[in-house]
Amino acid sequence: MQTNNANAIPENLRRLMAERNISAQTLSYEARLPPSRISQLLRGATLNPTLYTLQSLAAALGVKIDDLVTEANSDDSQPTRN
């Protein structure tokens, strides 16, 4: 099951940046966003980024927007029982 929460974007950005070994400065350049915007997102200071910002980040990181805004629960490996 996947959920959206306020920490999803900063956590996902950090993880994706680490996986790709890129800095905030590099992401800023690749996404064509101001470094201050990247910093705000990484700190969780921006809770509702614009669609343009999300599209730019997703394109620069080679992921879908959902990969930025959605957090997978740790119990994904367990089947859901009704």
> According to the model, what pLDDT value does residue 77 have?
41
Please answer whether residues 3 and 70 qualify as being in contact, where contact means their C-beta atoms are separated by less than 8 angstroms. Answer: yes
72: left (phi over 0), alpha (psi -120 to 50) or beta: beta
pLDDT in tens, 46-64: 888 999 999 999 999 999 9
Predicted confidence (pLDDT) at residue 66 exceeds the cutoff of 90: yes
Amino acid at 50: T
> According to the model, what pLDDT value does residue 76 have?
47
State which fold the 2-72 domain adopts. 434 Repressor (Amino-terminal Domain) (1.10.260)
* Angle at which helices 51-61 and 35-43 cross, to 10°: 90
pLDDT in tens, 3-49: 566 789 999 999 999 999 999 999 999 999 999 999 999 999 988 89
Please give the Cα distance from 27 to 19 (Å, whole number).
13
CB atoms within 10 A of CB 31: 19
